[in-house]
Amino acid sequence: MVDTALRLRADEAVPLLHTLVARAAADLGLRVLAIKGPVAALQGLRKPRPSADLDVLVHPRDLESLVAGLVALGWRRGVEGTYASIMPPHSVNLLSDLWPVAMDVHHYFPGFLADAGAVFDVLWAGHELVTLAGVPVPACDPVGQVAVLALHHLRISPDGDSPALRELSSRAGATLSADEVRALVQLAHATDATATLRPFLLALGVPDAEIGPARDAIALDAWNRRVRAVGYEAWFLKFARTPKRRWPRTLWHALVLTDDEIHVYSNVPPGSGGLLRLRLRRIGRGLAGVPRTVRAMARERRRGSG
């Protein structure tokens, strides 16, 4: 009647895993916040839907302690540092053969330009307990959660015109009280995210004069360059930094990735039969995207030298 050979499903695993991380962190005396995923759905900020992974945020000084604690429980570091990314590393990816979902432990969240530890403290100060799998789990409150979700969407669509951001805007408008919108603006100031959140705050009806500029202009410039990077530019940059003799290996890796990486991107378990099909699809998409990326990068180079 109890079958440990039955596969745990993602819709079961994600809430259970949030309780596991919260408990592991509490045992270690660390603070950890559940972000995105089922918490956002419970808060009415996104449609309830199965998540392929889970995200938590930890104070940067506690990152290695928490990761070590989770590794001691059988988790292993995943794709960190093996693939090209335009964003600097902001999370540690963890995998387990016993769980069907990956875990991203964030030590900062891109778009908050203030010191990552200070940002965590601000988000923690407003945290709430949400019930997942029958257990109270510390999570960003709706105000912090909206900021995190908006920055996540703005990273992909910096001008704020994506369907996902429009949906968040509409849900936040319906969910947040006027006081909470004011708290969101205060949070944006405290975490230096006014400029990065600007399109979203404007969509929420916040007057431009209340939003203000970024305090850290250099960090804002870096954010703008990163979020406007095109398609496969990350891989081109990786090639530019790689000795030519290692290009064949890098190209092969770019096209096929490792089993763990494919798992993270697709939620297909390592070793399963679907990997070959996913790899072939990725090769097709990669080759199709090359001309567009080369054109866009040439445009950027001309703009930069002009």
**Binding residues vs other proteins (CB under 8 A):** 1-4, 6, 8-9, 11-13, 15-16, 19-20, 23-24, 73-74, 98-99, 132-135
Sign, CA torsion 146/149/151/153:
negative
By beta-carbon proximity to other proteins, the closer residue of 4 and 305 is 4
User: What's the CA dihedral at 238, 242, 245, 249 to 10 degrees?
Assistant: -40
Q: Give min distance, CB of 21 to other proteins, in A.
A: 9
Q: Give min distance, CB of 61 to other proteins, in A.
A: 23
By beta-carbon proximity to other proteins, the closer residue of 16 and 219 is 16
Q: Strand 53-58 to strand 135-139: parallel, antiparallel, or no bridges (unpaired)?
A: unpaired
By beta-carbon proximity to other proteins, the closer residue of 98 and 217 is 98
By beta-carbon proximity to other proteins, the closer residue of 3 and 179 is 3
Q: Give min distance, CB of 106 to other proteins, in A.
A: 20
Q: What angle do CA 160, 184, 60 make, to 5 degrees?
A: 90
Q: Give min distance, CB of 133 to other proteins, in A.
A: 4
Which residue in 54, 124, 51 sits closest to 93, CA to CA?
54
DSSP state of 232: T
The total number of residues written for the chain in this structure: 306
Residue 72, φ and ψ in degrees, nearest 5: -65, -20
Contact 199, 111 (CB under 8 A): no
Give the gyration radius of the chain's Cα atoms: 20
Which residue in 131, 105, 132 sits closest to 31, CA to CA?
105
By beta-carbon proximity to other proteins, the closer residue of 49 and 246 is 49
C-alpha span between 283 and 271 (Å, rounded)? 19
C-alpha span between 290 and 259 (Å, rounded)? 23
C-alpha span between 221 and 200 (Å, rounded)? 18
C-alpha span between 90 and 100 (Å, rounded)? 22
Residue 22 half-sphere exposure, CB side, CA atoms within 13 Å? 23
By beta-carbon proximity to other proteins, the closer residue of 20 and 254 is 20
By beta-carbon proximity to other proteins, the closer residue of 131 and 177 is 131
Q: Give min distance, CB of 29 to other proteins, in A.
A: 15
Q: Give min distance, CB of 3 to other proteins, in A.
A: 6
Q: Give min distance, CB of 77 to other proteins, in A.
A: 17
Q: Give min distance, CB of 7 to other proteins, in A.
A: 8
By beta-carbon proximity to other proteins, the closer residue of 6 and 240 is 6
